[in-house]
Amino acid sequence: MSHSSAADHALAEPCPVRNAYEHKVSADGLIADAIQRKAADRLDRLVNDLAEARPATKSSALGWLFGKRREKKNVRGLYLHGGVGRGKTMLMDMFFDHAPLKRKRRSHFNDFMADVHDRIGAHREALKNGEAKRDDPIPPVAEQIAEESWLICFDEFTVTDIADAMVLSRLFSALFDNGCVLVATSNVAPSDLYGDGLNRPLFTPFIDVLKAHTDVMELDSGRDYRLDKLSALPVYMNPLSEETAQRMDEAWQTAIDGENEAAVAVEVKGRTIDVSRAAGPMARFTFEELCARPLGARDYMALADRFDHFFIDGVPQMDLDRRNEAKRFILLVDTLYDRKKSLHLSAAASAEELYVGKSGTESFEFDRTISRLIEMRDESWPPQAGDAVEY
């Protein structure tokens, strides 16, 4: 009696990622791109490497997928990097859907590391209670994760937190020793991760570990297809009305382009900012969520590091009674402008009429905000690499 497995299926369809890509070109109007096709072919090789990496057990062709005994595997992962809108998330989705494994995990890097720190904390608590024996929590945590997920996929890999940076080299050395395979997408090359981070020399060994276990491939700075789509969307919508709300909803749905919307948490210096609506590099907020809460420059920078496209609903007219919200809105716009992020918002009035206070520093600081909001509405925003920005 023959057995059928996910691995058998993958090998029967030798180019599942490339086929999914070509279907999107023919059926969904995706503009074909030679570099994306090359990446799809490399991901297909990885699909087949994973399918062939471990022979079936005597009892079942699926035994190697579900058995508890793990052998080290010599499968190189892949690190895809390139600018915003180069199709990295799309390719990751196609690959993950066709990866012939049950034990696989796809998550945002920050969510994965939050789980790691929780496991480290739980191990230390168990050690204190006499329920664990090993003093070093990294090896048992890596074993737990490897037992759950042979394949680990990160979309938008970025390192901003020193607590993450300090454990990455040892953690991933242990994960790779346990046979894990890593596939990641990022806006930056491995050598640029944690570029200006505190105590970076303690982080840099991770870069060598990463390069030793993954192939690095650049999706070059060609055409930004996501920006092509976003540039056609309304940017500044006023006044606030049911029609404006509908236009914002339509713009948001067009921007996320079928990606799953979910709540995420962005970590900032040991605390978290809850983002109720996120999809890939897109995030949607209400004005109250961003400007009525006690957020500061570091918070807005962390959000700008995590997301590239911001949708903000319900910006009200502000006066002296809302000067704190006005200060935060000024700071938020400054941050998004400096980081060259795209902004879509609905507001009670035109940019020139958003702040109606007649005294205080906000009244003249808001002039800069007006100028930036107007510039960010232009179809050429955000500027591409090498373009000058007027300050």
Write out pLDDT tens, residues 5-14.
443 343 446 7
The token pair that represents 234 in the structure block: 């309304």
Residue 54: predicted pLDDT? 57
Residue 386: predicted pLDDT? 40
| Burial bucket for residue 236 (CB in 10 Å: 0-12, 13-18, 19+) | middle
Residue 110: predicted pLDDT? 82
Question: What's the average model confidence in pLDDT over 275-304?
Answer: 93
φ, ψ of residue 305 to 5 degrees: the values are: -70, -30
Q: Where in the chain is the domain with CATH 3.40.50.300?
A: 6-219
What gap in Å lies between CA 238 and CA 243, rounded to an integer?
10
Residue 87: predicted pLDDT? 83
Write out pLDDT tens, residues 228-268.
666 667 889 999 999 999 999 989 988 887 778 889 988 88
Rounded to a whole number, what is the distance in angstroms from the first to the last CA of the chain? 72
Superfamily of domain 6-219: P-loop containing nucleotide triphosphate hydrolases (3.40.50.300)
Q: What is each CA distance from 85 to 36, 91, 105, 271, 384, in whole angstroms?
A: 11, 12, 23, 30, 11
Write out pLDDT tens, residues 319-373.
999 999 999 999 999 999 998 999 999 999 999 999 998 877 788 889 999 999 9
What gap in Å lies between CA 373 and CA 367, rounded to an integer?
10
Q: Which fold has domain 225-376?
A: Rossmann fold (3.40.50)
Alpha helices in 284-360 (DSSP H): 287, 297-306, 323-338
Write out pLDDT tens, residues 158-203.
888 888 888 999 999 999 999 999 999 988 899 988 887 888 888 9
Q: Is the pLDDT of residue 23 over 60?
A: yes
- Closest listed residue to residue 259, CA positions, set 222, 226, 306, 231: 226
What gap in Å lies between CA 194 and CA 169, rounded to an integer?
13
Percent of the chain having pLDDT more than 70? Answer: 86
